[in-house]
Amino acid sequence: MLGVLGGMGPMATVDFLAKLVRATPAGRDQDHIPTLVCSAVDIPDRAAAILGTGPDPLPAMRAALARLEAGGATRIAIPCNTAHHWHAALQAGTGLPILHIVDAVAETLAETPAGFMAGTGTGGRIGLLATDGTLRAGLYRERLGRRGLACVGPDPEGQAAVAAAIRLVKAHRVAEARPLLEAQVRALAAAGCDRVVMACTEIPLALSGSAASGLLVDATEALARACVAACRDDADPLPRAA
Amino acid sequence: MLGVLGGMGPMATVDFLAKLVRATPAGRDQDHIPTLVCSAVDIPDRAAAILGTGPDPLPAMRAALARLEAGGATRIAIPCNTAHHWHAALQAGTGLPILHIVDAVAETLAETPAGFMAGTGTGGRIGLLATDGTLRAGLYRERLGRRGLACVGPDPEGQAAVAAAIRLVKAHRVAEARPLLEAQVRALAAAGCDRVVMACTEIPLALSGSAASGLLVDATEALARACVAACRDDADPLPRAA
């Protein structure tokens, strides 16, 4: 049973679950992945903690993980990019494998080689739309860097606009968030990025169906697809050599 | 923590969760309702069991409820109308209160008096779009009948179309389901119904934004609103007289 450590934010978790259902080949209820979701909305703000301006969210994340374990989860996904700053700490406290959202994005990027999507071939820099916390923690920069991919974020003014847009989405003000984010997608494209990762799970809620979508890589969707693949492997393990 | 006994079907549960988030007054993650969701897709088909053509889903529903209890849920909602045939049996096995979706619909109907929505005033018969199992079990007929409301379903040919549409939604074929359901809404309106309850949680997935929406009452939305009200009462109990 897939365990989803969610609620960061609640609608982003719903978006992840919808993408999980759509990514599953199914003709009836019983074909889908059994899932236990903890929408732990009491987890303190992740970005604020990384920036040193808010309390540590790790205890509340550990409590939610314990609920999922008690309920019978056997594999964990976390549909919040910033929360992956605590991935290693969470993984150290449980025997259940926790998927990593940046690895899922890396898989998606590998399927669509640099320069392919926009046809520009300008060197394959990866633009990031993310929280201040995700950028400060270097989550994508380090993990994609190991695969030879260079990441760039918006300039300081642009990043302030992204952070404001994320807050607007959390307050159900999606229509106001969208133009702020589209402007930063254009700025990243102008700076030589031929792919822009929506590296905060609030962002696809605002950019769904955007004209910029040819450039965009959806981390939420990537995590959903990785879950479907992992759970299919759980159900049908490959034959092993003796 | 709200426990959601879901997965019947998985996308209907996602739709319920989206309506729960939207129905909650919130400006940030921490304003939302902590929720634990079990998407127990292994629960056998509820309608088939009521019709005597499939296995009993009660043991699998009880197992999912036990997972929610183990995870710390304190109140239960079930976003599947047909599953409410087993509401009393499930309630008998747990100390946690289980909301009843038909009571939630009755509350919504009470807020919009008969004849108000369509302006016809033709006697306030309530049309039902539901599974064969929900109709056979008389879930709405009995529970709304106690409140003086008369329910009618489609004719046999029309009901076969509704059942086919529900199967199409479960197979991600929403565009094919929609005209089948719209035709039955029109037939129920012609038969004197001034409100038509979408009394299967798959149906709003197909009729969202339909031209018929002025007539429609969404049981999923009604349950979500009832959950928000119940959880608000949990958090802020009214002062009691000594």
Task: Give CA–CA dist A216/A198, Å, rounded.
Answer: 7
pLDDT digits (tens, 9 = 90+) for B28-60: 888 899 999 999 999 999 999 999 999 999 999
| Minimum Cα–Cα distance from B12: chain A residue | A18
In terms of C-beta density within 10 A (0-12 exposed, 13-18 middle, 19 or more buried), how is residue B94 classed? Answer: middle
pLDDT digits (tens, 9 = 90+) for B86-118: 999 999 999 999 999 999 999 999 987 654 444
pLDDT digits (tens, 9 = 90+) for A121-147: 445 799 999 999 999 999 999 999 998
**What's the average model confidence in pLDDT over B56-77?**
96
- Which of B14, B33, B70 lies nearest to residue A21, judging by beta carbons? B14
Is B236's pLDDT higher than 80?
no
**What's the average model confidence in pLDDT over A6-27?**
94
Give how far B181 is from chain A: nearest CA, Å.
Answer: 19
Q: Which helix (H) or strand (E) holds A217?
A: strand A216-218
Task: Calculate the alpha carbon distances from B199 to A48, A120, A241 in Å.
Answer: 43, 51, 52
Q: Given this model, what pLDDT does residue A113 score?
A: 62
**What's the average model confidence in pLDDT over B13-18?**
97
Query: With an 8 Å Cβ cutoff, is B26 touching chain A?
Result: yes
Is B123's pLDDT higher than 60?
no
Q: How far apart are the first and last CA of chain A?
A: 28
Burial B140-161, CB ≥16 within 10 A → b, else e:
bbebbeeeebebbbbeeebbeb
Task: Give CA–CA dist B198/B131, Å, rounded.
Answer: 10
Count of A–B CB contacts within 8 Å?
A: 133
Residue bearing the bigger pLDDT, B186 or B236: B186
- Which of B29, B42, B44 lies nearest to residue A7, judging by beta carbons? B29
Token pair recorded at residue A81? 């990019």
Query: With an 8 Å Cβ cutoff, is B27 touching chain A?
Result: yes
Between positions 48 and 77 of A, the ones with CB within 8 A of B are: 67-68, 70-72
Is B235's pLDDT higher than 80?
no
With a pLDDT cut of 90, the percent of chain A lying above it is 81
| Minimum Cα–Cα distance from A44: chain B residue | B30
Tell me which residue of B239, B123, B242, B135 sits closest to B184, measured CA to CA: B135
Query: Based on C-alpha coordinates, what's the Rg of chain A?
Result: 18
Q: Do domains A2-100+222-235 and A102-219 have the same CATH topology?
A: yes
Instruction: Check residue A218 and report its DSSP letter.
Output: E
The answer to whether the CB atoms of B21 and A30 lie below 8 A apart is: no
Is A237's pLDDT higher than 70?
no
Give yes or no for a contact between B23 and B221, defined as CB atoms under 8 angstroms apart: yes
Task: Calculate the alpha carbon distances from A141 to A122, A125, B38 in Å.
Answer: 19, 11, 35
Is A210's pLDDT higher than 90?
no
**What's the average model confidence in pLDDT over A5-26?**
95
The answer to whether the CB atoms of A35 and B70 lie below 8 A apart is: no
- φ, ψ dihedrals at B116, nearest 5°: -70, -50
With a pLDDT cut of 90, the percent of chain B lying above it is 81
pLDDT digits (tens, 9 = 90+) for B189-211: 999 999 999 999 999 999 988 87
Q: Omega into A9 within 30° of 0, i.e. cis? A: yes
Q: Given this model, what pLDDT does residue A87 score?
A: 98
Give how far A2 is from chain B: nearest CA, Å.
Answer: 10
CATH number of the structural domain A102-219: 3.40.50.1860
Which CATH architecture does the domain made up of B2-100+222-235 adopt? 3-Layer(aba) Sandwich (3.40)
> A-chain residues within 8 Å CB-CB of B70?
70-72
Is A29's pLDDT higher than 50?
yes
The answer to whether the CB atoms of B39 and A34 lie below 8 A apart is: yes
pLDDT digits (tens, 9 = 90+) for A102-123: 999 999 999 876 554 444 444 5
Task: Give CA–CA dist B71/B78, Å, rounded.
Answer: 16
Q: How far apart are the first and last CA of chain B?
A: 28
Q: Given this model, what pLDDT does residue A236 score?
A: 56
**What's the average model confidence in pLDDT over B225-238?**
80
Task: Give CA–CA dist A79/A104, Å, rounded.
Answer: 11
Give yes or no for a contact between A51 and A133, defined as CB atoms under 8 angstroms apart: yes
Q: Taking the CB of residue B14, how many other CB atoms lie within 10 A of it?
A: 26
Q: Omega into B9 within 30° of 0, i.e. cis? A: yes
Task: Calculate the alpha carbon distances from B118 to A8, B151, B210 in Å.
Answer: 40, 17, 15
Report the helix count and the strand count for chain A, using DSSP H and E. Answer: 11, 7
Tell me which residue of A108, A134, A110, A114 sits closest to A193, measured CA to CA: A114
The answer to whether the CB atoms of A70 and B68 lie below 8 A apart is: no
Task: Give CA–CA dist B79/B223, Å, rounded.
Answer: 7
Place of tokens 């005033």: B121
CA angle A71, A74, A77 (to 5 degrees): 95
Instruction: Give A39's strand partners.
Output: A6, B35
**What's the average model confidence in pLDDT over B167-192?**
94
pLDDT digits (tens, 9 = 90+) for A47-67: 999 999 999 999 999 999 999
Amino acid letter, B144: L
Report CA A46 to chain centroid distance, whole Å. 14
Is A77's pLDDT higher than 70?
yes
Task: Give CA–CA dist B224/B78, Å, rounded.
Answer: 10
Task: Calculate the alpha carbon distances from B125 to B152, B180, B215 in Å.
Answer: 7, 21, 12
Report CA B75 to chain centroid distance, whole Å. 17
Task: Give CA–CA dist A208/A6, Å, rounded.
Answer: 20
Query: With an 8 Å Cβ cutoff, is A17 touching chain B?
Result: yes
Query: With an 8 Å Cβ cutoff, is B173 touching chain A?
Result: no
Give yes or no for a contact between B69 and B3, defined as CB atoms under 8 angstroms apart: yes
The answer to whether the CB atoms of A171 and B27 lie below 8 A apart is: yes
Q: Given this model, what pLDDT does residue B213 score?
A: 76
The residues spanned by each domain of chain B are 2-100+222-235, 102-219
> A-chain residues within 8 Å CB-CB of B40?
34
Dihedral sign, CA of B19, B24, B25, B28? negative
pLDDT digits (tens, 9 = 90+) for B145-160: 998 999 999 999 999 9
